[in-house]
Every structure is written in C-alpha cells, then in structure tokens.
Structure 1
Amino acid sequence: MFSTEGGIREDPATGSAAAALAGYLAVAMPCSDPCRWEIHQGIEMGRPSLIFAETERNDNASLIRIAGQAVVVGSGTLHTGLA
C-alpha cells in the first residue's frame, strides 16, 4: 500500500504486491524457469526490507513463491458479535 497521508510514501514491505509484480515480470520479461528476483522496499523510510520472489511454470499453471523475514509490528482481534 502506498499512501501520502501522514507523510508516509511507502510501506516497509508488501508481500502481496511482490507476488503481483513477480507474476507480471514473468510474463513481460520471459526468463528461464524458475525466474527469481530480489525486491528491496522501505529504504527511504528507514525500515529496509528484502523480499525474494520466484515464479515457475508447468503445463497447467504458474506458481509464485514469496519469501523473506517478518517482524510483528501490531496485532488485534476481530469480534463479530455472533454467539
């Protein structure tokens, strides 16, 4: 997620965006299977991250793998009000 509200111009790491980017790059810039990328994000905000992305194709489907390390910065509980 990128938002300019509050002066935040980038997220420190966005795995869902990295998966979408890897899928796009695998189609737009064909490479030998498997294709691999390192995605650096969060540098300007002082929270650098490194995400590893890999794509692989077979006859029936494409596979996208995302890897890296994560640190919990928050947690919560959602209550539905249902008994």
Structure 2
Amino acid sequence: MRQDPRDLRFVVAAIERQATYGRLRRQIVSLRRDAEYWRRRGRPGRAAEIERVAAYIEPSAQALKASVLLLKGFAKRRRH
C-alpha cells in the first residue's frame, strides 16, 4: 500500500517532534548526571536545584512522545 500524500505532513511533524524529544531526553539525563555529581561532592542543595529543572522539563518530553505516537497513528490510517 502506498503512502497517501495527504498524510505526509503527519510523518514530517512526527519526525521533527521525535528529534526534539530525543534532545529533551538527553538533556534530562545530563541534568540528572550533574545532580548526582553535586550530590557526591557534598552539595545537596545544588543537586536538588538541578533535579527540579529536570523534573520541570520531564512533562514536556512526555507530551512530545505522546504527540509523536499520535502523529504516527494519523500517518498510518487508511482512507476509504
């Protein structure tokens, strides 16, 4: 079955959002690694501040992941 050209915009949007999601996930992992570093160095306040930033970004990453799955679903729908 060929891809309907009308669905191409959903595929493109999904690819762009997936790239953004990947960047956000890497940023969150990096922040958590930094927080662990500061916790080991005896700076729990600094670590907690960094963890708060990671927790603030997390819902945006989850929303992007959900929108990617939704857009992929739209791209796979069948037209009658």
Normalising by structure 1, we get a TM-score of: 0.31
Structure with a larger share of its residues in helix:
2
Higher-Rg member (1/2): 2
Greater RCO, CA 8 A, separation 6+: 2
Structure with a larger share of its residues in strand:
1
